Chains A and B, each alone.
Chain A
Amino acid sequence: MRPRIVLLLAGRELRAAVRTRWFLVGAVAFTLLALAVAGLGVAGTRAWGISALDRTSAAMLNLVLLFVPLLTLPLGAGSFAGELEEGTLPYLAAQPVTRAELFCGKLFGLQAATTLSLLLGFGAAAIWIGAHGAVESRAFLALVGGAAALGVVTTTLGVLLSVAARTRARSLAAAIGAWLALVFLCDFGVLALAAAQAFGPNALFTIALANPLQSAKTLCALAISERLEILGPAGIEAVRTFGRPLLAALLAGGLALWAAGGGAAAWLVFKRRHLA
């Protein structure tokens, strides 16, 4: 694989993604929401003396968990299937590039685009908070890192849906279904298992981490606050079992596995399929 060609293709993909309406609307909406959350956090500091960062980070975490998959899953899902329909993907594949270079270039370009949009939102929020009060950079950076990691995972899952679906409409429908499943259905499933008392806290925690959103949420929560209550009973049990550093490493490793596994599955589908 030639890095120069992968970079060239990634650069084109980044430019193409940035030009899409979905990206523009998503990036602007995320920036405005991040600014609103930051503004509310700063207002809380003035009114009640509560740390702006604590409030902002907690609210921002919820924003990330809802918004990042909503922005990235359709962006990834529309990429391969959309360009296959338009003819751009076959056109690129007919050039002297390998399938692996084309796949990696597109994937990395999309991941760069989603990371860029998140950095825009977080950057605007950080500037706002910094201008109005002290910023504890470690926790905020951890939140940005967790959001970026989640963005990489969900973009990759979107790409997997895109290469598996034959049309853009199908892949986008699958992306919305995946968003609903990751954001709502998985939580309901874990709640149902907890209510049925079929599993202990550790087992429940492990099952919950099968959802990358839950992994990212727990990872960010660990970084944001020293208080364990925000992790819930299962999270508290996991911290007691593994300790904070090991748990954080396990969660980060889990997200990396999701990204690598999703990317590998997408590649296996892509390299076998006809581009016509």
Chain B
Amino acid sequence: MITLQDVRVEFGGRTVLAGVDLDIARGEAVALVGPNGAGKTTLLRCLVGLVRCRGRIAIDGIDTAVDPVGARRRLGYMPQVPAFCEETARRSLAFVAKLRGAPLDRIDALLDLVGLAGDARRPVRDFSTGMRQRLLLAAALVGDPPLLVLDEPTASLDRAAQAEIVALLRRLRDGGTTLLLCSHRSEEIRAIARRVVEVEQGRVVADAPLEVEHAPAPMRLLPLERAVGALP
């Protein structure tokens, strides 16, 4: 589903990604972990075309440098900072649907899926942070992309809102959607991801499956115990 080969990024002479190689299969749920400044968010931004990089990135076999539109059509992106294109929730989703060439008749179902059906015509500026995050997730799902790229999907949410987002993402994962997220929350990673990739100083330093969902306490964390366990 995703292939990254020798992906490198420099900002003003500072190396942010120093040759990342990664393969993610269709249907996998992968979490990027690592300290602040490790390069996790930059890696996601390279994937969605926001950061110029060297190396090769392919999504579903489509090289992002050759056909960026075709590659991005196969992914939905949920940024960390909520950003919307229109005044109301419904119009925001409709605009994204038009950009993606997706049918407009699924919008109400998406709003219902994230629990915002009753707020469809309210201005987004009146939404709480949790509502905005859910709307972002709905926008990422417009057009049913097979891959979701999620940057800190539950950042700045209270526990109830976190649980809602996590439950939604688990349903999507179980439905076969490929998930790639970066997060600092260990419980979120444990609940969603099946594989954890640790990034440090712009390199992948560990990559292993995470089998914690059905594990008895203490959790059976594989080689990434250190990375995930150190998270708050």
A98/B79 in contact, CB under 8 A: no
A275/B95 in contact, CB under 8 A: no
B99/A93 in contact, CB under 8 A: no
Which bucket holds chain A's interface residue count?
A: 20 to 34
Q: Is B42 located at the chain interface by the 8 A CB criterion? A: yes
Whole-angstrom distance from the CB of A81 to the nearest CB of chain B?
15
B99/A91 in contact, CB under 8 A: no
A94/B72 in contact, CB under 8 A: yes
Q: Is B50 located at the chain interface by the 8 A CB criterion? A: yes
A94/B48 in contact, CB under 8 A: yes
Q: Is A87 located at the chain interface by the 8 A CB criterion? A: yes
List, in ascending order, chain B residues with CB within 8 A of A98's CB.
68-69
Beyond A12-B85, A276-B42, whether A97 also contacts B99 by CB under 8 A is yes
A96/B86 in contact, CB under 8 A: no
Q: Is B229 located at the chain interface by the 8 A CB criterion? A: no
Beyond A274-B51, A276-B51, whether A97 also contacts B69 by CB under 8 A is yes
List, in ascending order, chain A residues with CB within 8 A of B73's CB.
96
List, in ascending order, chain B residues with CB within 8 A of A97's CB.
69, 72, 99
B residues 63-115 near A (Cβ < 8 Å) are 68-70, 72-73, 77, 79, 81-87, 95-96, 98-101
A95/B79 in contact, CB under 8 A: no
In this complex, which of B42, B81, B85, B87 has the most chain A Cβ atoms within 10 angstroms of its Cβ?
B85
List, in ascending order, chain A residues with CB within 8 A of B27's CB.
none
A94/B99 in contact, CB under 8 A: no
In this complex, which of A94, A98, A276 has the most chain B Cβ atoms within 10 angstroms of its Cβ?
A94
A90/B79 in contact, CB under 8 A: yes
Bound: A90/B42 CA distance, A: 13
A8/B11 in contact, CB under 8 A: no
B residues 29-53 near A (Cβ < 8 Å) are 41-42, 45, 48-52
Among A8, A15, A90, A91, the residue within 8 A (CB) of B98 is A8
Bound: A86/B84 CA distance, A: 9
B50/A86 in contact, CB under 8 A: no
Among B51, B86, B99, B101, the residue within 8 A (CB) of A275 is B51
A residues 240-276 near B (Cβ < 8 Å) are 272-276
Q: Is A5 located at the chain interface by the 8 A CB criterion? A: yes
Among B49, B86, B87, the residue within 8 A (CB) of A93 is B49
List, in ascending order, chain B residues with CB within 8 A of A206's CB.
none
Whole-angstrom distance from the CB of A269 to the nearest CB of chain B?
13
Bound: A6/B125 CA distance, A: 26
Residues 74-94 of chain A, each 1 if its beta carbon lies under 8 Å from chain B, else 0:
000000000000111011111
Whole-angstrom distance from the CB of B127 to the nearest CB of chain A?
15
Beyond A94-B48, A95-B96, A96-B99, whether A274 also contacts B83 by CB under 8 A is no
Bound: A94/B71 CA distance, A: 10
Beyond A95-B99, A276-B45, whether A88 also contacts B83 by CB under 8 A is yes
Among B52, B68, B84, the residue within 8 A (CB) of A272 is B52
B69/A94 in contact, CB under 8 A: no
List, in ascending order, chain A residues with CB within 8 A of B51's CB.
274-276
B77/A92 in contact, CB under 8 A: no
B residues 1-47 near A (Cβ < 8 Å) are 11, 41-42, 45
Given A91-B79, A94-B72, 16 new contacts (CB under 8 A):
A5-B99, A86-B81, A86-B83, A88-B84, A91-B77, A91-B84, A91-B85, A93-B50, A94-B50, A96-B70, A96-B100, A96-B101, A98-B68, A275-B45, A275-B50, A276-B42
Return 12 A-B CB contacts under 8 Å, by A number. A9-B99, A15-B86, A86-B81, A87-B82, A91-B77, A91-B84, A94-B72, A95-B72, A97-B69, A274-B51, A274-B52, A276-B41
